[in-house]
Structure 1
Amino acid sequence: MASVTTKKHHTGLDYVDIDTQYCQARIFMQGAQIDQFQPKGKAPLLWVSSADDYQAGQGIRGGIPVCWPWFGMHANADWPQHGFARTRQWQLNSVQMKNDIAILKFVLTISEQDKQYWPHDTQVSIEFELSDRLKVSLINHNTGSETVTLTQALHSYFAIEDIHQLQATGFNGSQYIEFGQGPYPQEGDSVRFDKETDRVYTQLGTEQQLHTPNGTMMVKREHSQSAVLWNPWIDKSSWLSRFNHDDYLQMVCLEAANVLEDKLVLAPGERHCLTTEIYWLD
């Protein structure tokens, strides 16, 4: 019997627990951030650091943080990195069950405080479709009379068991910027990891695969020609917040995005839906 239940974490954060014949998952109201997704009978797809303490006002180090309405550092250095949506309270707007597939929609109301960052007339929501696959859609609607521009990402952390054995494929024909340098042409279709990797890909195809000791994860995107591939490696792991020194061994980020020349430009009345879909291939 499927269940969708609102619960409270021991730190006080509210979340939604989802348990169906297909999967077990957990989504926090803060940031509308999913931190657990495990298809029944298979390994978890998402990773969270055991160093995270699930406190109010800070994004969870893992799962899928929502970076909105900008990705990375803002030109105003005092503004929050990756935007403000990942630390704000979202509202659970609707829950549907279709053949034991759970579909949950969350909406974010822009507060008076946050209008200093985002004074535009827009609506933003996020929808989770949970079966043996996880599909996440970030939906923007420009309800105003002026064109708006933003960048965004679904900052997915994947549980890959051993970074030394990970091979990421599906990058042929793309280019990337790394550490502010580039763009560089991608050489070949695959990426392996033996150092810090922080690449912003553009002109990228919509399907990548993460080949891990547990099997192969498929990572798909819609309405996105850009993605971020990140592993902090050894040195950065030593100073990242809520991150153990050896966590880099067990995670990688591959993030559906609209960044750089793929930034989102919405005319009045226009809608856009950035989607990522992840599942085990075998």
Structure 2
Amino acid sequence: MTSVTTKKHPNGLDYVEIDTRFCKARIFLQGAQIDFFQPAGKAPLLWVSDADDYKPGSGIRGGIPVCWPWFGTHSNPDFPQHGFARTRLWHLSDTRIVDEAVELTFSLALSEDDKCFWPHDTQVQIHFHLTDTLKVTLVNRNLGTKTVTLTQALHTYFPIQDVHALVAKGFSGAKYIEFGEGPYAQDGDEVTFNRETDRVYTDLGPVQTLHTPEGVIEVKRENSQSAVLWNPWIDKSKWLARFNDEDYLTMVCLEAANVLEDKLVLEPGQTHELTTVIRWK
């Protein structure tokens, strides 16, 4: 029996709970942020720190935060890190169930305060397609008469059990910026982890895999030539908000993005869809 139900977290945040024969999932209206997705008979595919308090106004430390309409630090230091979309209330604008696959669309209406950050005539929506695979699509439409430029990311946190055993594959031929330096040419196809990793990749192929003690996670991207690979390691974990000192051992972020030379340039009337697709392989 497929169910899509709106509920309220004890700390006040509203969310949508999905329960089907394919999966269980939970998506918060704040940030249109999915924090839980578990295919039937398999382990969860998203990670959340148990230090997170799910308080209104703070993005959840885990799942898939939506970084929009800029990724990272804005040129104006007073603007919020990774944009404002992840702390705003989105509206569940469409729900469809087709052959027990659940399709949800969330829309963000910009307030007058938001227009101080983003004075452009655009529309942004996020689509979720939930079966035993999770497909998330961030849709931008330029409704105005001027070209609009933005950067964005679907900031996905993955559970990996033991970062020392993690091998990320699918990076051959790419280049990356790390800690503001580069670009560097990727050395081989694999990335392993023994220090803080904060790489912004470009010229990256559309499929990567995370080889974990629990299995292999496949991560696909569409309309994206860039991605972010991040683990804060020991020192940074000690001062990150809503993050335990040892959380770095059990998570990694691999984020579908449009950043650096892959930034999104929307002409008037143009639409762009950034998609990430994740599954246990």
Aligned to 2:199: 199
Instruction: Report SS of the residue matched to 2:172.
Output: coil
Aligned to 1:140: 140
Matched, 1:209 2:209: yes
Alignment of 1:146-165 (within 5 A): 146-165=146-165
CA distance in 2, matches of 1:160, 1:136: 20
Tell me the CA shift for residue 132 of structure 1: 0.2
Give unmatched runs, 5+ long, in structure 1: none
Tell me the CA shift for residue 174 of structure 1: 0.1
CA distance in 2, matches of 1:71, 1:181: 17
Give unmatched runs, 5+ long, in structure 2: none
Matched, 1:168 2:168: yes
Instruction: Report SS of the residue matched to 1:236.
Output: helix
Aligned to 1:246: 246
CA RMSD of aligned residues (A): 0.3
CA distance in 2, matches of 1:235, 1:118: 34
Tell me the CA shift for residue 38 of structure 1: 0.4
- Counterpart code for 1:274: L
Q: Give the number of aligned pairs.
A: 281
Output one character per residue of 1:103-137: Cα deviation in whole Å (capped at 9) or x when no partner: 00000001001100000000000000000000000
Instruction: Report SS of the residue matched to 1:86.
Output: helix
Aligned to 1:77: 77
Instruction: Report SS of the residue matched to 2:49.
Output: coil
TM-score (norm 1): 0.99
Alignment of 1:70-149 (within 5 A): 70-149=70-149
Aligned to 1:218: 218
CA distance in 1, matches of 2:162, 2:156: 17
Output one character per residue of 1:138-180: Cα deviation in whole Å (capped at 9) or x when no partner: 0000000000000000000001111011000000000000000
CA distance in 1, matches of 2:218, 2:63: 16
- Counterpart code for 2:280: W
TM-score (norm 2): 1.00
Instruction: Report SS of the residue matched to 1:135.
Output: strand
